[in-house]
Amino acid sequence: MRGVSHNPSRVRGRGNRGGRVSVDDHMGATEGSGDADRRIGRRALLIGGAAAAVGTAVLARDELARLWWRAPGVEKPRVEGAVDFGGAQWVAASDANWRRADRPDDYGIDMVIIHVTQGSFASAVKVFQDPGHGAAAHYVVRKDGHITQMIRELDVAYHAGNRAYNERSVGIEHEGFVDRPEDFTDAMYAASARLTARICARYAIPVDREHIIGHVEVPGTDHTDPGEHWDWDRYMRLVRRARSASA
């Protein structure tokens, strides 16, 4: 279409029917499949190990109850429509595009991953609601600075194309195209920087480029976003400013 350099081989992901939208596709298909199996497997392993280790049925039952309670996604109460960032508007992503978890208790969060949607804000929100897409990010930032949250930070979003990085990160999408620097507006940078600063404050994440990275920097990815026009110096300056203002 526009000769975008971002991930040309993957713009027709599972949810991109007919190439109608070109939103950043995060290889969620490979990542989502088998994820439930893995969780069940881990839980079974934990319970099995506990049962073997304790001597009596009563102890085993107590231990099983404790482990079950500690299993991901069953601890914290959820409030319908709740957001993690004040001012964000909640629009739920399809639950096929993320995995219920209990972060930061089951997985620590030490990273923010910056994306560019390769499409409009509306198309990103739409495909993240599509169970066939297999991918979604926690947040989508619009050019005017509006922020929509689609997945709770408690949960693991399929956005990085790398399971370990998904489990440890919060993903933020930005409306626009990697080859159109004019898409990255002042309002977008400012709003996104405030959001990232809050995430860093909440989980004690250092504000540096080791912990605030682009999708392109995720090991194994074939994605290029946010691309060469994303102004990292400016963004990090804004994040640091917002972080110290709220400290």
Binding site for Zn ion (CB under 5 A): 24, 115, 215, 223, 225
> Closest separation between CB of residue 245 and Zn ion, Å?
28
Choose between 72 and 227: whose C-beta lies nearer to Zn ion. Answer: 227
- Rounded least distance, CB 223 to Zn ion, Å: 5
**Least distance (Å) from Zn ion to the CB of residue 69?**
35
CB of 215 to Zn ion, least distance (A): 3
Residue 170 vs 243, nearer CB to Zn ion: 170
Nearer to Zn ion, 133 or 223 (CB): 223
Beta carbon nearer to Zn ion, 31 or 225 = 225
- For the bound state, the minimum distance from the C-beta of residue 93 to Zn ion, rounded and expressed in Å, comes to 15
**Can you spell out the DSSP letters for the chain?**
-----S-TTTSS-TT-GGG--------HHHHHTTHHHHHHHHHHHHHHHHHHH-SSHHHHHHHHHHHHHHSTTSSS---TT--SSTTPEE-PPPTTSEE---TTTSS---EEEEEE-SB-HHHHHHHHT-TTT----SEEE-TTS-EEE-S-TTSEES-SS-HHHHHHEEEEEESB-TT-GGGS-HHHHHHHHHHHHHHHHHHT--SSTTTEEEGGGSTT----TT-TTS-HHHHHHHHHHHHHHH-
Q: What is the identity of the amino acid at 74?
A: V
Task: Please say which residue, 103 or 159, places its beta carbon nearer to Zn ion.
Answer: 159
CB of 225 to Zn ion, least distance (A): 4
**Minimum CB distance to Zn ion smaller for 7 or for 149:** 7
